[in-house]
């Protein structure tokens, strides 16, 4: 066991800084967390305050995430968010009030510059990870770019997306795994994918809560199997990665987006304690 750990932690790993948070595959794990979508300012502030206090208590660095527009909803009737103008104002307030880096996603290249004025990390959604113009627009902002590996993409193929970002003279890159297609309405996570992506040297993030999603599994919206959150989070952490991505909400059963695969704030502390403990063992020199 010691030999394997030493071999794993000796792999060259780049360090990528977003705001005041440093990501790398061989330093303590970081947390990216927040509600799926900005429902309203009150809920966003309540969640950010809770996360800030909890992460200070557990001594884990975190990035706050939420989306101003969920453009890939299952149904035309699904809630998408407040839009870019109102959404960025709310995220800017969170950034100033709680002194935390902000992650949010873009779906259109023309949004990149406006988002870069607030966000420390610009996220490329999984379904858009091969959209060259979108990726280049994010890269040229100079901000950290988090690419969610598409559910249709092999882990070694992420190198092509990396090359696009690097061609914009940007090497502040995070790579996120969120599962692959497994038949209809189901994702599955190959833990070897996390390891394969660390071979790029860039920090690897594991999006746990989207990995338990059943896309379109409930007809006009997605479902999720929450009992898998803990086991996947522990397995992903044991693979030796830079960060864990968890969507969370004060009351997931009442959430306007992805409620079936978000973890309740009340259940977050015991899970984070386990993640931190496993991470400390994996990265022990």
pLDDT value for 4: 43
Beta bridge partners of 16: 23
Terminal C-alpha separation, the chain: 12
Q: Over 140-198, what HEC string results?
A: HCCCEEEEECCCCCCHHHHHHHHHHHHHCCCCCEEEEECCEECCCCCEECCHHHHHHHH
Phi first, then psi, for residue 105 (nearest 5°) are: -105, 160
**230 neighbors 269 (Cβ within 8 angstroms):** no
**16 neighbors 202 (Cβ within 8 angstroms):** yes
Q: How many CB atoms lie within 10 A of CB 1?
A: 6
pLDDT value for 257: 82
Residues 6 or more apart whose CB falls under 8 angstroms from that of 79 comprise 37, 39, 70, 73, 256, 257
Strands 263-264 and 213-214: unpaired
Phi first, then psi, for residue 17 (nearest 5°) are: -105, 135
pLDDT per position as a tens digit, 181-237: 888 878 889 999 999 999 999 999 999 998 887 665 555 556 667 889 999 999 999
Q: Over 60-77, what HEC string results?
A: CCEEEECECCCCCCCCCC
Q: What DSSP string describes 15-40?
A: -EEETTEEE-TTS--EEEEE-SB---
pLDDT value for 222: 61
pTM of structure: 0.92
- Alpha-carbon span 202 to 215, nearest angstrom: 28
Beta bridge partners of 62: 31
Query: 2-282: what CATH class?
Result: alpha beta
Closest of 190, 102, 197, 109 to residue 144, by C-alpha: 102
Low-confidence ranges of the chain (pLDDT < 70): 1-11, 73-75, 77, 214-224, 285
CA–chain centroid gap for 104, Å, is: 9
Strands 21-23 and 16-18: antiparallel
Closest of 227, 214, 225, 158 to residue 187, by C-alpha: 214
Q: How many CB atoms lie within 10 A of CB 228?
A: 16
The tokens for 54 are 């909890």
- Alpha-carbon span 35 to 2, nearest angstrom: 38
The tokens for 245 are 């991505």
């Amino acid at each position: 066991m010691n030999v394997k750990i030493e071999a794993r932690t000796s792999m060259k790993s780049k360090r990528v800084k977003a705001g005041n948070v440093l990501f790398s595959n061989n330093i303590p794990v970081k947390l990216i967390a927040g509600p799926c979508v900005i429902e309203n300012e009150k809920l966003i502030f309540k969640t950010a305050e809770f996360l800030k206090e909890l992460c200070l208590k557990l001594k884990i660095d975190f990035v706050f995430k939420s989306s101003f527009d969920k453009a890939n909803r299952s149904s035309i009737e699904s809630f998408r968010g407040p839009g870019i103008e109102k959404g960025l104002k709310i995220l800017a307030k969170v950034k100033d009030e709680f002194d935390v880096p902000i992650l949010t996603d873009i779906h259109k290249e023309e949004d990149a510059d406006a988002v870069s004025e607030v966000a420390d990390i610009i996220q490329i959604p999984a379904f858009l990870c091969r959209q060259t113009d979108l990726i280049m627009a994010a890269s040229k902002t100079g901000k950290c770019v988090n690419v969610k590996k598409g559910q249709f993409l092999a882990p070694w193929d992420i190198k092509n997306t990396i090359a696009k970002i690097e061609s914009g003279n940007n090497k502040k890159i995070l790579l996120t795994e969120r599962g692959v297609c497994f038949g209809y309405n189901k994702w599955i996570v190959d833990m070897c994918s996390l390891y394969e992506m660390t071979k790029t040297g860039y920090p690897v993030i594991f999006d746990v809560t989207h990995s338990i999603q059943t896309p379109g599994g409930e007809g006009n919206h997605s479902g999720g199997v929450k009992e898998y959150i803990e086991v996947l989070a522990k397995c992903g952490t044991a693979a030796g990665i830079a960060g864990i991505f968890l969507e969370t909400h004060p009351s997931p059963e009442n959430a306007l987006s992805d409620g079936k695969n978000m973890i309740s704030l009340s259940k977050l502390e015991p899970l984070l304690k386990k993640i931190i403990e496993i991470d400390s063992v994996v990265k022990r020199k």
